[in-house]
Amino acid sequence: MESHSDFYKSLKDSDNGYFTVESRSGRAFLCVYPPGKKGRPVAYSDVIARLDLFKLSGYDLSFVREIVVASEGRSHDICEWEDRDSSDASSEIQISEDLMEAKMILHPPRGEGKFLSEEEITAQIENQGLYSGSLMKPLKKFPPVLL
């Protein structure tokens, strides 16, 4: 039988690479994270598709490719991010009538909006009278991702 740490390690080894594109102070920042040993790396075409989705332009294609290939988990300033409608991230908690299930829906920031911090999410959970403690540990695993 596999121990929890062995199971966690096998999950981590299977993680696929992922990336974020964030707007900070009028600039676009790209961060590409490496896959686990058995995971798939980020595809250059996926990054370009996301940059196109955000209507970003003026970035250097070869620099973006270098960032994707390196997959070092560091943010890189790649181009200007034109000002557009902004809103901070938000969340809502839905609790079932029998109080046995709770769901948190996270809404990402838009434009120059800010992400929710771990402390803000924890406070919202605790303000609803829900237990957070060790249940928050899995939350730390997931970085912010803009869709």
Closest among 109, 118, 124 to 138, alpha carbons compared: 118
Instruction: Tally the domains of the chain.
Output: 2
Residues 54 and 100 in one domain: no
Residues 41 and 76 in one domain: yes
**Cα-to-chain-centroid distance, residue 41:** 16
Residues 75 and 113 in one domain: no
CB 127 within 8 A of CB 104: no
> Which range marks the domain in which residue 111 is found?
90-141
Residues 62 and 22 in one domain: yes
Say what the pTM is: 0.55
* Domain-located, residue 108: yes
Q: Which amino acid is at 7?
A: F
* Domain-located, residue 61: yes
Q: pLDDT tens digit string along 1-49?
A: 567 677 666 767 788 999 999 988 889 999 999 998 989 999 999 999 9
Residues 59 and 97 in one domain: no
